[in-house]
Structure 1
Amino acid sequence: MGDWFETIADVDATAEEADRLGAEVLSWLVEQGIVMAGVNGLNVVTGRAAFYSTGVDRVVCPHCQSAIVDQDDEERWPSFSESIDSWCAGGSGVESCPHCGKSTGLNEWHWSPPWGFGYLGFEFWNWPPLDPGFIADVGNLLGHRVVTHPAERSSG
């Protein structure tokens, strides 16, 4: 049996608040008896990161609803990949739609499966699938929009 993980990414947390919010959620998880003080298959990730668990099947413009990247035609993926690399290195993470011309931040595009770009994420390793109510509770505790990623199973 291989390892897998599922992620909850806070795509609105700033760099300045990521450590504090991460500690608050971890404290809440311990208080609720969900995790013990220690690893327990939970990795709190702070710092600029792209949060995802699988490749991209489709990316759709939020303005004109055009599919810019899809699994059948990945012509635009190199441009998105450059924007992601730039964002992770401190850049703006803005990509322009070739159909409507509007420039949009990476978190505003419609990703399938979901991807998120932010300063705070929680990776749950080898847990059962996360309950939607639990994900909502974490989002409410953070007070921010969160993006979740389906469990990715790997062999090993």
Structure 2
Amino acid sequence: MSDNYITITTVGEIVKPVEVMEKVILWMQSKEFVESELTDCIISSKRKGYKPGKNHVAAIGYDENILKWKVCGVETKAEREVFNACAFTAMTKMECPNCGRNRFEGITPLDFFTDNCTKEQLELYDNVFPEFDKWTNYENATLTCPHCVTISKIDDYKIDSSISFSNFGLTFWNWPDLTVDFLENMKHVIGREINRINGHI
């Protein structure tokens, strides 16, 4: 079975992410969306998560019996990360903050997924990952636009919502959906705009 996930991040970094995370988890526990104890319920050999609580159905709108899965918990991360970087491909739109053109303009899905890209096109893609790592490690992370040759910070690029530069992330493993009310209430608790990422592994 493949595992699905919904990751909620803040739009950009926040001050005191650990404290904000604790606040959000306490809110979720008070509403019984998640249990109070950390258990082995996420995809990680080093971390634990929070299993769905008695009232988790109120957060997803309908009962999908997610408790039947071993992986069904909520994972917390309150440190700098390029969330969902493993899903990054040359099909991810990445617009230069100076000229607005897509870094991967001209690369087709057929070319990318059948190894028909030129060496130069592959370098445009491959060169992004070391900068992701630099950004995560608080180092100077920049890219040179292939169109206007401007050097810009990587987190100034406009990237579609499948990728998020943040220091706050909640991943709901195998939860089928999250209601609009739940997300609005979470945004209120966080006090910041949020980004939703859907994916599977």
The equivalent residue for 2:102 is: 67
The equivalent residue for 1:129 is: 177
Q: How many percent of aligned residue pairs carry the same amino acid?
A: 20
The equivalent residue for 2:156 is: 108
The equivalent residue for 1:9 is: 9
Gaps of 5+ in 2: 38-49, 52-72, 109-120
- Over the aligned positions, Cα root-mean-square deviation in angstroms equals 2.4
Task: Determine which structure has more spread, i.e. the larger CA radius of gyration.
Answer: 2
Give the distance between the partners of 1:63 and 1:92, measured in 2 at CA: 18
Give the deviation of 1:113 after TM superposition.
5.0
2:147 maps to 1:99: yes
Give the distance between the partners of 2:123 and 2:183, measured in 1 at CA: 34
Which of 77, 82, 85 does residue 45 from structure 1 map onto?
77
Which of 51, 64, 88 does residue 55 from structure 1 map onto?
88
Give the deviation of 1:130 after TM superposition.
2.5
TM value normalised by structure 2: 0.64
SS, match of residue 7 in structure 2: strand
Gaps of 5+ in 1: none
User: Which structure ranks higher in relative contact order (CA pairs < 8 Å, sequence separation ≥ 6)?
Assistant: 1
Give the distance between the partners of 2:185 and 2:141, measured in 1 at CA: 28
Contact 1:5 1:153 in 2 (8 A): yes
TM value normalised by structure 1: 0.80
The equivalent residue for 1:83 is: 131
The equivalent residue for 1:141 is: 189
Give the deviation of 1:80 after TM superposition.
1.6
Give the deviation of 1:103 after TM superposition.
4.2
Give the deviation of 1:85 after TM superposition.
1.2
Give the distance between the partners of 2:159 and 2:83, measured in 1 at CA: 12
Give the distance between the partners of 1:6 and 1:86, measured in 2 at CA: 25
SS, match of residue 95 in structure 1: strand
Give the deviation of 1:60 after TM superposition.
1.7
Give the distance between the partners of 2:182 and 2:141, measured in 1 at CA: 29
Contact 1:7 1:121 in 2 (8 A): yes
Paired AA for residue 42 in structure 1 = V
Between Structure 1 and Structure 2, which shows a larger proportion of strand residues?
1
Query: Residues 137 and 87 of structure 1: is their aligned pair in 2 closer, same or farther, counting only changes over 3 Å?
Result: same
